[in-house]
Amino acid sequence: MRKHIIRFIAMFAILIVLAFYPLNYYISKPGGAYELQPLVTIEEVHPQPKGLFHLMTISIAKATPLTYVYAQLSKEMDVLPVTSVKQEEEDDEEYSIRQKRLMYNSQNKAKIVAFNRAKRHYEVKYNGIYVIGVVKGSAAEGIIRPGDTIVQVNDYPLTEKQTFHPYIEKMLKGDQLTLVIERDGQQFEKEVTLADLPNRPGKVGLGIRYEDNEIVETSPNVVFESSSIGGPSAGLMFTLEIMNHLQDDDLTKGYSVAGTGEILEDGSVGRIGGIDFKVIAAHKQKIDIFFAPDDVVSKEMKAQYPDIRSNYEVAVETAERLKTPMQIVPVRTIDDALHYLEELPPKAS
């Protein structure tokens, strides 16, 4: 009897390890299709659209021995090395903050492109620098956190683009800075003494990874509700959703429209990862139309990555494998998507 109990406990322990022990890999798989209408609010009333725009996601989670083996056998899961997901020395908190920041930036660019195309007013302002990561062993460790916004250094307010680095690089080791920091809606001061940067002999600094904190103010105001989603790939669809609020004509024409692609300020649509899984998720949601970045694969990219293909090529191949009736539409710019929708006949009811 005792042997049976020991054997049961041992088997149970093995199952726990197989199911929950984290490996140095990630598993990606199809995520979901999110209706954009509840996620984007604009202070201007327009007729209710007959169709819907959707943003697509993929799901990424730490691999365990069990999910690692399962992913190797599945066409709807990929195993990713940690280096293809996280940046060097990036912890889980910094990864999450970086992904949310990429989403914030994509929303800003979507506002700029949409308001430019609609010839509506917007203004770009700068409010300090946004901290994405803190270098271990640096002067900033324990004082500054990822997600902080530094709005002032000593008596110098950071209200213009790319002003932080020129100010700091004049400083010497041992110089003390008074930083005005915004965190969780609160503003306060912190003292930091500049020190050598870890792994960079002779270089002095705070030891933070950051970017300018850009704020795009629009009229009418645009509010996003997408705090649980990260990454830059919703930019194209955010732009279309905003534009649908800014005009009287319904861009959807009654269709269920999804897509993916980073939006750049000039309106071009950039390549993203995991498009095959996004096509799978869209197919499961019975989406009618899917916009895919028709990115150019250069000779240099092909030489470095022989198997690389454009997002559009992968999307078409995936759609053919699924035998989906969903239309895969190539786009290189926001204007490609707009032109396709303008030429589209209204969906039969």
Q: Quote the CA–CA distance of 36 and 42 in Å, as a whole number.
A: 12
The pLDDT assigned to 56 comes to 96
Q: Give yes or no on whether 30-58+96-118+223-343 and 124-215 have one common fold.
A: no
Cα dist from 137 to 94, 133, 317, whole Å: 16, 12, 47
Find the radius of gyration of the CA atoms of the chain: 24
What would the pLDDT profile of 288-305 be if each residue is shown by its tens digit?
999 999 999 898 988 998
Q: Which of 233, 253, 256, 268 is catalytic?
A: 233
What would the pLDDT profile of 95-131 be if each residue is shown by its tens digit?
999 999 999 999 999 999 999 999 999 999 999 999 9
Q: Which of 320, 277, 315 is nearest to 32 (CA)?
A: 277
What would the pLDDT profile of 301-323 be if each residue is shown by its tens digit?
889 988 899 999 999 999 999 99
Q: Which of 267, 193, 229 is nearest to 35 (CA)?
A: 229
Phi and psi at 259, nearest 5°, equal 170, 180
The reply to whether 28 belongs to the active site is no
Contact assessment for residue 152 and residue 158, using Cβ atoms and an 8 Å cutoff: yes
The pLDDT assigned to 2 comes to 67
Model-level pTM? 0.90
The pLDDT assigned to 4 comes to 66
The pLDDT assigned to 199 comes to 78
Superfamily of domain 124-215 in the CATH hierarchy? PDZ domain (2.30.42.10)
Residues in the chain with pLDDT < 70? Answer: 1-4, 8, 17-18, 45
Q: Where are the domains of the chain?
A: 30-58+96-118+223-343, 124-215
Cis status of the peptide bond prior to 81, with omega within 30 of 0: no
The CATH fold assigned to 30-58+96-118+223-343 is Ribosomal Protein S5; domain 2 (3.30.230)
Tokens for 323? 């035998």
Bridge-partner residues for 192, per DSSP?
Answer: 177
Q: Which of 42, 63, 4, 75 is nearest to 280 (CA)?
A: 75
Q: Quote the CA–CA distance of 201 and 155 in Å, as a whole number.
A: 29
Q: Quote the CA–CA distance of 329 and 288 in Å, as a whole number.
A: 11
Strand ranges (E), the chain: 25-35, 40-42, 52-62, 78-81, 121-134, 149-153, 156-157, 176-183, 186-193, 195-197, 200-205, 208-219, 222-224, 256-259, 262-263, 269-270, 289-293, 327-331
The reply to whether 278 belongs to the active site is yes
Dihedral over Cα of 301, 303, 305, 308: its sign: positive
Q: Which of 29, 100, 253, 278 is catalytic?
A: 278
